[in-house]
Chains A and B, each alone.
Chain A
Amino acid sequence: MIESLKQHYNIEQKDIRLFKIVIQKEKFLKTLSFISSNSNFITLSQITCTDWIEDKLFTLNYILTNKERNKNLMIELQIPREQSKISTLLNFFPQAKVMERDLHEMYGIEFIGNPTLYDFALENWKEIPPLRREFDTLAYVNEQFEFRRGREDNRDVKVEMKKRRAEAKRLKNAKK
């Protein structure tokens, strides 16, 4: 199956069971319809996204699995970071509905044609999508919540552990 696909695309093998194709965003629908109808890779396992903030890109990865469940094929493409839009895969794989809803909530990617792009795991969320790298989790948490004051006899962990290890070493050397 892989050999027959190698005539059309440039496939590289990442691992024993993992193969990868890198395509352009414009050829996305044609590629996927060709692969899902002409080969054994008929199941969409996952859609993942990586945030490259320095190059101003999102990298989307569509992972397909074959019918015998022993090979995976990754299809990678890049979309711009601002105003990121791409068409939906709902017509080929019905499970893409939930995966795209998740990605829309966490990264802000808009999937054209998906009617269920409302909130999934976050309720009453008023900030930017939280898995983007410009969202500073630490600043948000420190502003929103208040932590407990420590105890009065509080000690710093690193300093204390260093002291205790030095003490134990000294005792061991004194015994010899």
Chain B
Amino acid sequence: MQEGFIDYQKVLDNEEHAIKSTQSVIEKAVDWFRSKSMFVLAYGTGCGAIEMPPTFTSRYDIERLGVVGVATPRQADILIVSGYCSYKTLKRVIRSYEQMNEPKYVIALGSCTINGGMYWDSYNTIKRLEDYMPVDIFVNGCMPRPEALIEGFVKLQDNIRNAKRKAGYIKYIEDNEFYKANQRKIFGDNIEPTYEANFEGMN
């Protein structure tokens, strides 16, 4: 089991991204359907959640793209991490993410998820979200306007249909060691069970 903080750039340099040409017609059609109806988990994790209600209501209506807010992780496809994450919040967010059914995607909103943002020198928030959870789309801004968020959704639709890179949930299963090592560094040993049935590590 790998210990400590690992630079994700080395992991990215070694992997090959999935190319769509090896998929069958049915899988391509199902991906088209998946991109046309996306359910977002109604969970505002930080101060970026103030930009989600205008996007979902009358003025910048995003229901035209088929996006609806649902209330439980079991029915959701997309998790929007909006803003900074302190240690307490991150633990609950990862727990919600692991309860969602696959295929699932993560959109990270705001500059605090990219490089720390306004709280870059705070002792209690994390600086790069993609070290702890796999992220598919970054939308920058502080806060991004609803037009920027809609553009993020359109790009996610494009990514689902054309598969320019490996989806986040596949990365979470394959590189699970990397993510769990980073989580263990900030949470201690009090983290969620791993995907292997490792009973002596669980509590």
Contacts and interface: CB of A to CB of B under 8 A. Distances in A.
Direct A–B contact in complex, judged by CB atoms less than 8 Å apart: yes
Interface in B1-38: 5, 7, 9
Given A124-B187, A124-B190, A147 B127 contact: yes
Interface string A120-137: 011110000010000101
Contacts of B86: 121
Interface in A110-169: 121-124, 130, 135, 137-138, 140-141, 145-149
B116 A124 contact: no
Nearest to B115: A148
B5 A123 contact: no
B126 to A, nearest CB: 7
A137 B91 contact: no
Contact of B188 (A121, A124, A138, A147): A124
Q: Which of A122, A124, A130, A145 has the most chain B CB within a 10 Å cutoff?
A: A145
B114 to A, nearest CB: 7
Interface string B109-122: 00000111000111
Taking chain B's interface residues, is the majority helix, strand, or loop, or is none over half, making it mixed?
loop
Interface in A15-34: none
A148 B114 contact: yes
Interface residues of A, number: 15
A126 B128 CA distance: 21
A123 B86 CA distance: 10
B84 to A, nearest CB: 13
Contacts of B199: none
B87 A123 contact: yes
Contacts of B115: 147-148
A135 B124 CA distance: 13
A171 B66 CA distance: 50
B87 A124 contact: yes
Contact of B127 (A124, A138, A145): A145
A121 B86 CA distance: 10
Contacts of B195: none
Nearest to B187: A124
Given A146-B5, A147-B116, A148-B128, A130 B87 contact: no
Contacts of A122: 87, 124
B186 interface: yes
B64 interface: no
Contacts of A141: 120-123, 127
A141 to B, nearest CB: 5
A122 B190 CA distance: 14
Contact of A130 (B123, B128, B188): B123
Contacts of A121: 86, 88, 124
A160 B124 CA distance: 32
Contacts of A130: 123-124
A141 B115 CA distance: 12
Interface of B: 5, 7, 9, 86-88, 91, 114-116, 120-124, 126-128, 186-188, 190
Interface of A: 121-124, 130, 135, 137-138, 140-141, 145-149
17 contacts: A121-B88, A124-B87, A124-B186, A137-B121, A137-B122, A140-B123, A141-B122, A141-B123, A145-B116, A145-B127, A145-B128, A146-B5, A147-B127, A147-B128, A148-B114, A148-B115, A149-B9
Q: For the complex of A and B, list the 8 residue pairs with the smallest distance between their C-beta atoms, beginning with the closest.
A: A145-B127, A124-B188, A148-B115, A130-B123, A141-B121, A137-B123, A123-B87, A140-B123
